[in-house]
Amino acid sequence: MDDTEDQGPADDAILELAEQPLGSLHRPLSQVVADAIRQAIVGGQFTPGMRLVEDRLAAKFGVSRNPVREAVRALAAEGLITVVPRHGAVVADLSAEEVRETVEVRATLEGMNARLAARHCDQAVVRRLHDILAAGLAAVRSAQVGALPVLNAQFHDTLGSAGRNRVLTDLLRTLRERTGHFFPTGGPDHAVKTWNEHAEILNAVVAGDEELASLLAQRHVKSAEATAATDQ
């Protein structure tokens, strides 16, 4: 009976190790490099328009050009980098119009996702969302602005998973990354607004109110854009 499920503690540890396949943790260099570049872009170290020369990146990361090339191409597919044939790659520098279009699509999809989240309302996820929300509101009150970007990302990621549509989740993640580093992190008043909106969205989701959740999520995206635009 417990032959398959529950064995001795020692065996358990071994099994646990085996069930987390080590192989899947060994990511190819191209992915490691891609993550590093992605972090550098969203973290603001690589600024829009900056050239990405394969040789230099390869030297910087201590790898050959090939993994770097693959990483650059992958990030280009995500929209974080622009590659011009025979000229090279630069960190994507979107025009105001392109940012607007991206935000427009993102707003629609965030709305859709909130609607799905309200429909498939899951207790465990809701609990996690409440925790993140509480942490966010606490950080806002104590003016711990440093923790806010991480909490914000966590809230949106978790809400994304609540919609139970992986295609949508993936799309939203890349769309968020594409425009994220164009908006400077707003001031404290902006943070208050953001987290109040988060609270309202979560309320609507918990209440199972699809229409309201969708509407609030859409507005949330658009208001963030408007705030950032006026801030600049």
Q: Between the CA of residue 10 and those of 5, 14, 22, what are the distances in Å?
A: 14, 7, 19
Q: Does 28 bind DNA (CB under 7 A)?
A: yes
Q: Where are the alpha helices (DSSP H) in the chain?
A: 9-19, 22-25, 29-42, 54-61, 65-78, 96-119, 123-141, 148-162, 166-180, 188-206, 210-231
Site string for DNA, 112-141 (x = CB under 7 A): ------------------------------
Closer residue to a second copy in complex, CB, 26/55: 26
| Choice from 32, 50, 58, 171 touching a second copy (CB under 8 A) | 171
To the nearest whole angstrom, how small is the minimum distance from the Cβ of residue 78 to DNA? 17
Q: Does 58 bind a second copy (CB under 8 A)?
A: no
Residue in 96, 30, 25, 94 with CA at minimum distance from that of residue 66: 30
Closer residue to DNA in complex, CB, 89/191: 89
| Choice from 40, 42, 53, 199 touching DNA (CB under 7 A) | 53
# residues near DNA by CB under 7 A: 23
Q: What distance in Å separates the CA atoms of residue 79 and residue 81, rounded to the nearest whole number?
A: 6
To the nearest whole angstrom, how small is the minimum distance from the Cβ of residue 6 to DNA? 22
To the nearest whole angstrom, how small is the minimum distance from the Cβ of residue 37 to a second copy? 15
Q: What distance in Å separates the CA atoms of residue 139 and residue 142, rounded to the nearest whole number?
A: 5
Sign of the C-alpha dihedral computed for residues 208, 159, 184 and 90 taken in this order: negative
To the nearest whole angstrom, how small is the minimum distance from the Cβ of residue 3 to a second copy? 31
